[in-house]
A and B are shown apart, each in its own frame.
Chain A
């Protein structure tokens, strides 16, 4: 297991450092919310942000022009367009 990594139940976790001031700010923020601790909140927010970055890097279309033409022909035949 890499340094800093740990297991909790069946899941594996690792440690990431954040400024103590930010930690305290988040701790205050999540009081009375559904988040059990700062780690849970940080995981949630990171997933939200990471997926946006990933999306921006993904290719525009998953089909080629040739595939597209064939599909359009089928869609016409079936009455979709």
Chain B
């Protein structure tokens, strides 16, 4: 059976029909707050249930519990505070209990009941969520750039934005119906922000061997400069799946959510979100959601051990490499050969080759995938 939604019930905060019309009419008269694209994606993820059980942006009590205990105030596991930051002057005249309109590029996106307005300590946030206060960490830098107040309360999505990849945009409700139609009871999710190399294919297929289906679920949304662009990731996976995956056991969809680079905490967050999409298992690789040397390569694995009540089973799959003697992709647990036969697929090396317009060797990347990636003038976020 597919996973039950996190917290027990799939949240739906998408206003429809007459209720939507009435809220839209009211929203025109409300104080409005302009939100960024990243916040807009959070609003969508709340509204469609990807962040179940959240009904809106965190109130102070939940915020503090998440920050210090990695749980909501009702004890439900939750590791990344989902917050809405505002400047004082943006909410001048707004008091707790008021409704406000949330706009993006001037258009009404959602309405929110402001239940609480509170201050936050960005350094403390960084220390707990990112385990560092270093402004060179991309997630920390973005935290420091946020506004001085937080407002919390439930939201209602009125006008969903056009999804950047409509063709592959499925909501948690839709993946749940899809898995049911396919007759899948066990589904493993693969989170990624990269174009696929053979190491990724190896872990996905190793996991798929033991379950009914695989959900390949790359993030589309903000990523740091130097990461692959969303359209490159999507095109690369289209090529890989077309040529190398059995159609009946793989679903490819994208998740509109920013990368935070919060390492272990973000790994838990990624798992919770995929649980809401109905997945029963989640692949946790080496340095999941990490950046630089801020986290240990398998630190996320340890953190999963603190959550016996997560409700999705993590699959800890070791780093894979190509072994010349074995003649294929393997990992240290199953390959008896020494380092001289092992070729590690380094993401940095791969990016360098692609930047230099060199075709990576076939033991690193499928030729069809390499061709697609190299067809982009600049496949990297600038």
B182 interface hit (Cβ, 8 Å)? yes
Closest to B5 in A: A62
Instruction: Please determine whether B176 and A10 come into contact, CB atoms closer than 8 angstroms.
Output: no
Question: Contact partner of A55 among B4, B178, B305, B308, CB < 8 A?
Answer: B4
In whole angstroms, what is the CA distance A50 to B170 when docked? 31
Neighbouring A residues of B167 by C-beta, 8 Å = 78
- Give the total of B residues in contact with A, Cβ under 8 Å: 25
A11 interface hit (Cβ, 8 Å)? yes
Q: How far is the CB of B380 from chain A (nearest CB, A)?
A: 29
B330 interface hit (Cβ, 8 Å)? no
Instruction: Please determine whether A51 and B178 come into contact, CB atoms closer than 8 angstroms.
Output: no
Question: Contact partner of B177 among A9, A51, A72, CB < 8 A?
Answer: A72
In whole angstroms, what is the CA distance A10 to B5 when docked? 28
In whole angstroms, what is the CA distance A9 to B67 when docked? 13
In whole angstroms, what is the CA distance A9 to B8 when docked? 29
Q: How far is the CB of A58 from chain B (nearest CB, A)?
A: 5
Q: How far is the CB of A1 from chain B (nearest CB, A)?
A: 14
A3 interface hit (Cβ, 8 Å)? no
Instruction: Please determine whether B308 and A80 come into contact, CB atoms closer than 8 angstroms.
Output: no
Neighbouring A residues of B182 by C-beta, 8 Å = 81
Question: Contact partner of B181 among A44, A67, A75, CB < 8 A?
Answer: A75
Question: Contact partner of A50 among B49, B181, B307, B309, CB < 8 A?
Answer: B309
Chain A, interface SS category:
helix
Known: A62-B5, A62-B9. A75 touches B177 (CB 8 A): yes
Of A61, A62, A71, A80, the most chain B CB neighbours within 10 A belong to A62
Instruction: Please determine whether B311 and A80 come into contact, CB atoms closer than 8 angstroms.
Output: no
A74 interface hit (Cβ, 8 Å)? yes
In whole angstroms, what is the CA distance A50 to B177 when docked? 27
Q: Which of A39-70 contact B (CB under 8 A)?
A: 44-45, 47-48, 50-51, 54-55, 57-59, 61-63, 67-68
- Give the total of A residues in contact with B, Cβ under 8 Å: 27
Q: How far is the CB of B251 from chain A (nearest CB, A)?
A: 7
Of A51, A57, A61, the most chain B CB neighbours within 10 A belong to A51
Instruction: Please determine whether B311 and A51 come into contact, CB atoms closer than 8 angstroms.
Output: yes
Known: A10-B68, A10-B69, A47-B75. A63 touches B176 (CB 8 A): yes
B174 interface hit (Cβ, 8 Å)? yes
Closest to B7 in A: A54
Closest to A45 in B: B308
Instruction: Please determine whether B10 and A62 come into contact, CB atoms closer than 8 angstroms.
Output: yes
In whole angstroms, what is the CA distance A54 to B74 when docked? 13
Instruction: Please determine whether A58 and B68 come into contact, CB atoms closer than 8 angstroms.
Output: no
Question: Contact partner of B174 among A11, A57, A61, A71, CB < 8 A?
Answer: A71
Neighbouring B residues of A44 by C-beta, 8 Å = 308
In whole angstroms, what is the CA distance A29 to B350 when docked? 48
Instruction: Please determine whether B178 and A62 come into contact, CB atoms closer than 8 angstroms.
Output: no
Q: How far is the CB of A13 from chain B (nearest CB, A)?
A: 11
Instruction: Please determine whether A81 and B178 come into contact, CB atoms closer than 8 angstroms.
Output: yes
Closest to B169 in A: A78
Instruction: Please determine whether A9 and B68 come into contact, CB atoms closer than 8 angstroms.
Output: yes
Of A45, A48, A71, A72, the most chain B CB neighbours within 10 A belong to A71
B231 interface hit (Cβ, 8 Å)? no
The 8 A CB mask of A14-54 against B (1 = contact, 0 = none) is 00000000000000000000100000000011011011001
Neighbouring A residues of B68 by C-beta, 8 Å = 9-11
Instruction: Please determine whether A81 and B181 come into contact, CB atoms closer than 8 angstroms.
Output: yes
Neighbouring A residues of B311 by C-beta, 8 Å = 51, 55
Closest to A44 in B: B308
The 8 A CB mask of B60-81 against A (1 = contact, 0 = none) is 0000100011000001000000
Measured CB to CB, the residues of B under 8 A from A are 4-5, 8-10, 49, 64, 68-69, 75, 167, 170, 173-174, 176-178, 181-182, 251, 305, 307-309, 311
11 contacts between A and B (CB under 8 A): A9-B68, A10-B69, A48-B309, A59-B9, A63-B177, A71-B177, A71-B178, A74-B174, A75-B170, A75-B177, A81-B178
